[in-house]
Amino acid sequence: MADRSPFLRRKKNSKLPGYSTFDSRISKDSGISSNIEETTSTKRGLKSSTVVEDASDRVSISWENIQVFVENPRPSIIKRLCSFGKSENEVVKSKQILFNVSGNVEAGTLLAVMGASGAGKTTLMNVLAHRNIYQMEVRGTVEINNRPIGPEISSMSAYIQQEDLFVGTLTVREHLTFQAFLRMEKNVPDNQRKTRVEDVILQLGLTKCADTFIGIPGRLRGISGGEKKRLSFASEILTDPPLLFADEPTSGLDSFMAQSLITALQQLAAQGRTIICTIHQPSSQVYAMFNSILLLAEGRTAYLGPRADAIQYFDSLGYPCPVNFNPADHFIRTLAIVPGDEENCRKRVQDICDVYSAREAEFSKPETQERQDHSKSPKEKFVAFESTGYKASWCRQFRSVFWRSWLTNKRDVLIFRIRFYQSIFIGLVTGIIFFQTTIDQDGIENIYGAFFFLVTSVSFSNISAVTFTFPIERNIFLREHNNRMYRTDIYFLSKTLAESPQFFLGPLVMITVGYWMVGLRPDVLRFLAAYGILALVSMAAVSFAYIISTISPTTSVSTALSGPLTLPLLVLGGFYIENRTIPEWLSWLRYLSWFNYGFEALVVNQWDNYGPIPCNIIPNNETYTSCVYNGSIAIEQRGLKEENLLIDIYALVAITVGFRLISFLFLLRNSYKRT
């Protein structure tokens, strides 16, 4: 049996305790493309762009006895009733994904984590990177340079996730510029940030599509899937982190681009970076580029060691690799659970993993004692990467995120046109239905209807436009927030400010078209007041929609919630039921209804100091209808008050601010809950 791999134990001849040495020389025959050699060897005065020479910049990572449990989905109500008498822990059991997985990777190593589907590759990657583990129970320890580490590992590492998440209305260069301004150190000049962006574009072969939109499926045509994968990689290596995690980096790429991408990883590893990536089914050429491999099977370690020794190791176990056969395919087939032959496959996997565990235990005692002796040294301090703060200042974060949000809204021309034409259409509908309403006893009721229709239309059109805002960008925001790129308040403030102009423009178009067609008071000041009231109604409705948007995990949930949550406020808006007739136990809800304040303000604006109003109704013995002789009576008969105009305006402002504060708190809660 082959001896234990040298990267499974700390080198005893290291120059500094806890740090490992490496050979920074790169072979001329390594097959690395000329573009990559040129960009990575260029001296720019940036720490992130030069070959690592300081031992404090190199990291080795180790993990010991990693166990991961996830809770199975809760059973249905029927199953829970059938299991009456059992404790909840018996009904809802946890499933273990990883079983005592241990290992160590030293600086300058390119490690491939392989295994069949469901082996636990991505789970192990998430545990090591401390990402996406909020729903897991994790046991064990992860160490950097023999020092335990937790969430602060994000300050020294980059994680290329399998799912490509981008703001589709940005170009490739704009996206990388945004990343560079928020992820690089504060003391790096702007011109060097832009230079680094151009180098990465050249290094990853994105020059041809640098000024192309990333794209939105079904709405905006953009770059290809392979280019998106390379862009994900480019976003993470902008700062040349000493520790890099990549989950399926070659997924969606052709064989040539996959080989080029792994070549770039090989180049970074040769410079002293520690790189761990999961890979599903690499070609023989890609497989040959890795220094070491980690094979997982059924949540256990089947092999961890040099790639060159893996064939000999499996041969010693009685599973030789056929001649001219891809070793990666052979290992995965050997460790896979074949449908119909599960029992024999699991027995084979168990035997292989047991052999490795026994082999691991044979060498673990000296290494454990050495690590304990090292940890007792009073001179050692792990201070290289303790900071978990943001790389950019508050002002730079705000400028960058607001710039991106503004571009996103500016370039989403289709949505802007739809909202603009929608406002014109609603204004025309209002004007046609209530065209030149005669101000008499019947006309008063029609004016009430016109006002409430405008308030309702403005509210629902803006609610439907906003409820999708945060669910659509939820994953992008959480990923960037977890990468410590910007604060939650920065994102919320930038997003809401960038969207505000369109919510002021819609009511202006709507009231301009409908006001004069309906024949409301021909006074410019009254018209401007009516626009101001509708604008406040619009902002209050948008703020309420932000609450729905931030509490909804998906767009379908936000759609389902918007209607039921809005209808009670609509009914209590002062049109369907008079304020003075609302039951006392329900009257508190009226104070949260912007429909109520907006409707009352528009009515007061129309009828204040208005009169006389003609009355042609002749009382008879059967019915008696009192006449409305002036605007004051018109206001009072709906249970409204003239003196409430300023109160209504202040209330709309208060609702806008209050609802936005609540929505921000929900967004803040989500951002911390999922870290």
Write the DSSP assignment of 147-166 as a string of letters.
Answer: EE--GGGGGTEEEE-SS---
User: pLDDT for 476-492, tens place per residue?
Assistant: 998 888 778 899 999 99
Asked if 353 contacts 298 with a C-beta cutoff of 8 angstroms, the reply is: yes
End-to-end CA distance of the chain: 43
pLDDT of 509 strictly over 90? yes
Alpha helices (H) in 222-283, listed in sequence order: 225-236, 255-270
The whole-number pLDDT of residue 7 equals 33
The whole-number pLDDT of residue 398 equals 95
The whole-number pLDDT of residue 572 equals 83
pLDDT of 263 strictly over 70? yes
The CA distance from 69 to 94, in Å, is: 6
The CA distance from 413 to 417, in Å, is: 6
The whole-number pLDDT of residue 196 equals 93
Comparing CA positions, the residue from 230, 228, 284, 305 lying closest to residue 36 is 230
Lowest mean pLDDT among 392-401, 538-547, 602-611: 602-611
The whole-number pLDDT of residue 674 equals 55
Length of the chain: 675
Q: How confident is the model at residue 525 (pLDDT cuts 50, 70, 90)?
A: very high
Strand order in the sheet with 94-105: 94-105, 61-71, 136-144, 147-148
User: pLDDT for 125-169, tens place per residue?
Assistant: 989 988 878 788 899 999 998 889 888 887 788 888 877 789 989
The CA distance from 102 to 372, in Å, is: 17
The whole-number pLDDT of residue 481 equals 86
Comparing CA positions, the residue from 438, 470, 434, 471 lying closest to residue 454 is 434
The whole-number pLDDT of residue 81 equals 53
The whole-number pLDDT of residue 582 equals 74
* pLDDT (mean) for 205-210: 90
Comparing CA positions, the residue from 338, 514, 321 lying closest to residue 429 is 514
* pLDDT (mean) for 629-640: 84
The CA distance from 201 to 575, in Å, is: 59
Alpha helices (H) in 336-435, listed in sequence order: 342-375, 394-411, 413-433
The whole-number pLDDT of residue 382 equals 35
Average model confidence (pLDDT) across the chain? 81
- Residues 6+ positions from 667 with CB-CB distance below 8 Å: 470, 488, 491, 492, 550
Comparing CA positions, the residue from 35, 454, 23, 420 lying closest to residue 204 is 35
pLDDT of 328 strictly over 50? yes
The CA distance from 113 to 122, in Å, is: 9
* pLDDT (mean) for 498-513: 92
Q: How confident is the model at residue 625 (pLDDT cuts 50, 70, 90)?
A: low
DSSP 513-547: HHHHHHT----HHHHHHHHHHHHHHHHHHHHHHHH
pLDDT of 325 strictly over 60? yes
Cα separations in angstroms, 352 against 62, 309, 312, 349: 22, 16, 14, 5
The CA distance from 345 to 335, in Å, is: 7
Cα separations in angstroms, 396 against 48, 154, 184, 240: 20, 21, 12, 21
Lowest mean pLDDT among 333-342, 447-456, 494-503, 539-548: 333-342
* pLDDT (mean) for 21-25: 30
Token match 């690499």: residue? 282
* pLDDT (mean) for 36-41: 40
Count Cβ neighbours within 10 Å for each residue of 209-231 and write b for 16 or more, e otherwise: bbebbbbbeeeeebbeebbbbbb
* pLDDT (mean) for 339-358: 89
The CA distance from 270 to 24, in Å, is: 6
The whole-number pLDDT of residue 48 equals 37
The whole-number pLDDT of residue 73 equals 64
Token digits of residue 538: 């619009």
Q: How confident is the model at residue 304 (pLDDT cuts 50, 70, 90)?
A: very high
Asked if 366 contacts 8 with a C-beta cutoff of 8 angstroms, the reply is: no
Q: Angle, to 10 degrees, between the axis of helix 469-482 and the axis of helix 524-551? A: 60
Q: How confident is the model at residue 42 (pLDDT cuts 50, 70, 90)?
A: very low
pLDDT of 86 strictly over 80? no
| Residue 517 vs residue 258, higher pLDDT | 517
| Residue 620 vs residue 377, higher pLDDT | 620
Q: How confident is the model at residue 590 (pLDDT cuts 50, 70, 90)?
A: confident
The whole-number pLDDT of residue 365 equals 53
Cα separations in angstroms, 308 against 111, 355, 632: 13, 19, 92
The CA distance from 123 to 70, in Å, is: 11
User: pLDDT for 552-570, tens place per residue?
Assistant: 888 889 888 988 999 888 8
- Residues 6+ positions from 646 with CB-CB distance below 8 Å: none
* pLDDT (mean) for 289-308: 92
pLDDT of 369 strictly over 80? no
Comparing CA positions, the residue from 181, 385, 405, 195 lying closest to residue 274 is 385
Comparing CA positions, the residue from 159, 155, 107 lying closest to residue 133 is 159
Token digits of residue 336: 């896979």
Q: How confident is the model at residue 459 (pLDDT cuts 50, 70, 90)?
A: very high
Asked if 287 contacts 74 with a C-beta cutoff of 8 angstroms, the reply is: no
The CA distance from 489 to 491, in Å, is: 5
The whole-number pLDDT of residue 264 equals 81
Lowest mean pLDDT among 51-60, 162-171, 197-206: 51-60
Per-range mean pLDDT, top range of 10-24, 91-105, 312-326, 606-620: 312-326
| Residue 488 vs residue 340, higher pLDDT | 488
Lowest mean pLDDT among 147-151, 509-513, 624-628, 659-663: 624-628
Token digits of residue 306: 């040099």
* pLDDT (mean) for 573-592: 77
- Tell me the backbone φ, ψ of residue 149, rounded to 5 degrees: -145, 155
Asked if 255 contacts 283 with a C-beta cutoff of 8 angstroms, the reply is: yes
The secondary structure element, H or E, covering residue 597 is helix 594-607
- Tell me the backbone φ, ψ of residue 353, rounded to 5 degrees: -70, -35
Q: How many CB atoms lie within 10 A of CB 476?
A: 13
| Residue 178 vs residue 628, higher pLDDT | 178
Rg (CA), the chain: 33
User: pLDDT for 427-436, tens place per residue?
Assistant: 999 999 999 8
The whole-number pLDDT of residue 32 equals 34
pLDDT of 41 strictly over 70? no
Q: How confident is the model at residue 414 (pLDDT cuts 50, 70, 90)?
A: confident
The CA distance from 42 to 379, in Å, is: 36
Q: How confident is the model at residue 79 (pLDDT cuts 50, 70, 90)?
A: low
Q: How confident is the model at residue 617 (pLDDT cuts 50, 70, 90)?
A: low
Strand order in the sheet with 300-306: 157-160, 243-247, 274-278, 110-114, 292-297, 300-306
The whole-number pLDDT of residue 613 equals 82
